[in-house]
Structures are given as structure tokens and as C-alpha cells.
Amino acid sequence: KHGKQQGIDVKVEWTQLSGGAAVNDALLSGAIDIAGAGVGPLLTLWDRTQGKQNVKGVASLGNFPYYLVSNNPKIKTIADFTEKDRIALPAVTVSVQSRVLQYAAAKQWGDKEFNRLDKWTVAVPHPDAAAAII
């Protein structure tokens, strides 16, 4: 409707893809022009297209806080994790939760140490992680 008001003939086709990786593939191949996906896939695609297709994020699909919870009373900050601990994430190094943890590590120890906690992260689906911590 807005395109018509501007004198632009826009044809919209809606398609459902299986997830962030499929969305990225479709954007890169030219099969789609715009997509909705999570922050993790966006950051990956943005990073890999700099100087080429220059993919950009244009809007947020949602906004909510992330919490890092522990059943270990000794853990008060990320600096308290040791080699005996494991940090459950939906996907290691690529999920938005993993990226936020890396950002927190960079803030804590400096940019070069952004991946300091990655060695203690494990991929665990949300329901399994919740059950493990309760």
C-alpha cells in the first residue's frame, strides 16, 4: 500500500525459512531481498559481507534482557567462572547469547580476550539447560 502511494509497483511474496542460516543463504543468493532473523545470524552475515554486499540490520524484531544464571553461589560475575564450570548456550560462539557473553568478556578483560569464556561453553537446548540448573 505504501509503495503504491509512492507510485512504486511492489510485489510481496512471503516465505518461511528454517532459521538464521537459511535466511542468510537466501539473502546472499538473491532469492530474497529482506528478511527477519535473529541477532546472531545478522551479526554473522554483516561481518562476512563488509565491502561486498554490505548487509545491514534495519529494525529490531524484539527487545528483551538476557540473564546469566548459575546454581553455584560462588558465581557473582563472569570473572568468577573457573575451568570446573560450564556455561550452557543454545549454540557455542554463534548464538546471540554467546555473542553477548563474548561482549561481556571483552568488557571485563579487554577486546583481545573476548573469547576467554568460550572454552567453558557448551551447546544445550533451552529446556535441557533450565532442567539442569533447577
pLDDT > 90? residue 48: no
Spatial distance between the Cα atoms of 116 and 132, rounded to a whole number of angstroms = 23
**53 found inside a domain:** no
DSSP 69-128: --S-TT-SSGGG--TT--EEESSTTTSHHHHHHHHHHHHHH-GGGTTTTGGGEEE--HHH
**67 found inside a domain:** no
User: Which domain covers residue 8, as residue numbers?
Assistant: 2-38
Spatial distance between the Cα atoms of 77 and 134, rounded to a whole number of angstroms = 19
pLDDT > 90? residue 46: no
Mean pLDDT of 105-113: 98
**57 found inside a domain:** no
* Residue 40: predicted pLDDT: 79
Q: DSSP class of residue 133?
A: H
Mean pLDDT of 27-49: 88
**52 found inside a domain:** no
Spatial distance between the Cα atoms of 129 and 58, rounded to a whole number of angstroms = 32
Q: What is the pLDDT of residues 2-36, one digit of tens each?
A: 888 999 998 889 999 888 889 999 999 999 999 98
**110 found inside a domain:** yes
Contact 62, 88 (CB under 8 A): no
Average predicted confidence (pLDDT) for the chain:
90
**32 found inside a domain:** yes
Site of grid cell 558465581: 75
**72 found inside a domain:** no
**10 found inside a domain:** yes
Number of structural domains the chain divides into? 2
